[in-house]
Amino acid sequence: MVEEDTLIPVEDYLKAGVHIGTQHKTNDMEDFIYKVRDDGLYIFDIGKTDQRIRTAARFLSRFDPSKILAVSAREYGKRPAELFAKIVGGKSSVGRMIPGMLTNPNLDHYIEPEIVVATDPIGDQQALKEANTSGIPVIALCDTNNMISNVDLVIPANNKGRKALSMVYWLLSRETVKEQERLADDEKFKYEVEDFEAEI
């Protein structure tokens, strides 16, 4: 495991279950896996997750905030994705994504984002497919069982847990706002992790 200063204490990551993967792993995600537990669950290297969140925030800050699109078909990812989009100044598409949203200019809901943030490459495959067709870069939260086709930047994390999703999106929002220079390093972020948590 990478030993360095993390954005939040490692205990908080562990408490939220960000490091918990699935019982399946893909070759794509092998680089981000730390070990396999006795019960067969693959565990992420928290240091790499933390580093990727920083990188993703830096990456997002280089785009016009209004051109960021957060998508989540996953139930527990809806609230975090919506709040993330609201905080960074972007747009969100939660639930079923209407086909053509990124590719068909004749539709009323057609938008032209410059970057897409996906919660799960499996659930959000329509968004990934359309982003690929339109040549839009994609950042995705990927679990150990995900393929990373059409993804340009992976954030290795548990993308199924309610608390894990809220933690990752909270950190991503905070770091992006910092990179956008809308929040000083010593200033307190006005949202709490609990604000990002979806209701049960």
Partner 1 sequence: MSDEDEIRCVSCGITITGPAFTSFPCPECGEVTIARCKNCRKQSNHYKCSECGFIGP
- Number of residues in contact with partner 1, rule: CB under 8 A? 21
Residues 72 and 81: their CA atoms lie apart, in Å, by 6
The sheet with strand 138-142 has its strands ordered as 91-94, 68-72, 115-118, 138-142, 153-156
Nearer to partner 1, 41 or 147 (CB): 147
- For residues 79-118, which are near partner 1 according to CB under 8 A? 115
Is 191:92 a contact under the CB 8 Å cutoff? no
Beta-bridge partners for 68: 115
Question: Among all chains, which residue has been given the structure tokens 């609201």?
Answer: 86
Nearer to partner 1, 41 or 153 (CB): 153
Q: Per-residue DSSP letters for 2-32?
A: --S--SS-HHHHHHHTTTB--S---GGGGGG
The stretch among 10-18, 55-63, 65-73, 80-88 that binds partner 1 (CB under 8 A) is 55-63
Q: Minimal distance in Å, beta carbon 14 to partner 1?
A: 25
Site mask for partner 1 (CB under 8 A), range 1-20, x = bound: --------------------
Q: Does 137 bind partner 1 (CB under 8 A)?
A: yes
Q: Does 62 bind partner 1 (CB under 8 A)?
A: yes
Q: Does 136 bind partner 1 (CB under 8 A)?
A: yes
Residues 126 and 200: their CA atoms lie apart, in Å, by 26
Q: Does 153 bind partner 1 (CB under 8 A)?
A: yes
Q: Minimal distance in Å, beta carbon 30 to partner 1?
A: 12
Residues 6+ apart with CB under 8 A from 9: none
For the record, the structure tokens of 97 come out as 């994504």
Q: Does 122 bind partner 1 (CB under 8 A)?
A: no
The site for partner 1 (CB under 8 A) is made up of 28, 55-56, 58-59, 62, 115, 132-137, 147-154
